[in-house]
Amino acid sequence: MAPTVAPIAAAPAASNVPIGKDGKPLKPCCACPETKKARDQCVLNNGEENCLELIKSHQQCLRDLGFKI
């Protein structure tokens, strides 16, 4: 009698991941580079508490792309 082998499960579909212009899934770290750069520079120079508008702007950009944050 041959040993039984469990089937390999397929990876879950990434249907809820935003897709970039190149057709590949976007990563939060690489999305919205303009707002991310402005936010990061402000936080480095002025501290997080002084950059709330830029932080909110970046978060909104990510939401607009479909990220759930």
Full DSSP string of 12-49: PP-TTS-B-TTSSBP-TTTS-HHHHHHHHHHHHHH-GG
The answer to whether 42 is annotated as binding is no
Give the C-alpha separation, 42 to 51, whole Å. 6
The answer to whether 30 is annotated as binding is yes
Binding site listing: 29-30
Binding site listing for Cu cation: 29-30
